[in-house]
Amino acid sequence: MDRSWEENGLSSLRYAELTERVSEVFDVRVPPTFHRVYRTPNELKKFIESRHHASFPTELPDLSGSPLSSVVFPTFVVAVLQLVGIMAHVGMVVTTAILSVYFGEWIARDHFSVDMGSACGVSVPFGVPFFMILYSLCVLVMKWIVIGRYRPREVKVNTGSYLCWWFVDCGVYLWEVLVGTFILDTKMSWMFYTLGGAKVDVSTELQAFIREFDLCTVGSDACIIKHGVRCRMFDSPVKEEEEAVDEVRSSLVTFRPIRMGKGCMIDGMVCPGASVGDYSHVTKTSVVVAGGPNP
Is residue 7 in a domain? no
3-state helix, strand, coil in the chain (%, to 5): 45, 15, 40
- What are the distances in angstroms from CA 172 to CA 109, 120, 212, 233? 33, 29, 9, 17
Is residue 129 in a domain? yes
pLDDT in tens, 40-54: 777 777 766 665 554
Residue-level pLDDT at 169: 95
Return phi, psi of residue 284, to 5°: -60, -35
163 and 242 co-located in one domain: no
Residue-level pLDDT at 43: 73
255 and 162 co-located in one domain: no
Residue-level pLDDT at 86: 96
217 and 281 co-located in one domain: yes
Residue-level pLDDT at 180: 93
Is residue 58 in a domain? yes
198 and 141 co-located in one domain: no
Range of the domain at 237: 184-295
Closest CA to 97 of 132, 148, 54, 70: 132
Residue-level pLDDT at 1: 56
Is residue 6 in a domain? no
Which residues of the chain fall below pLDDT 50? 54-65, 238-249
Residue-level pLDDT at 134: 95
Residue-level pLDDT at 154: 80
Is residue 196 in a domain? yes
125 and 159 co-located in one domain: yes
Domain count, the chain: 3
Q: In the 8-state DSSP scheme, what is residue 7?
A: T
Closest CA to 262 of 204, 188, 216, 195: 204
Q: In the 8-state DSSP scheme, what is residue 230?
A: -
78 and 163 co-located in one domain: yes
35 and 89 co-located in one domain: no
Rounded Cα gap, residues 283 and 281, in angstroms: 6
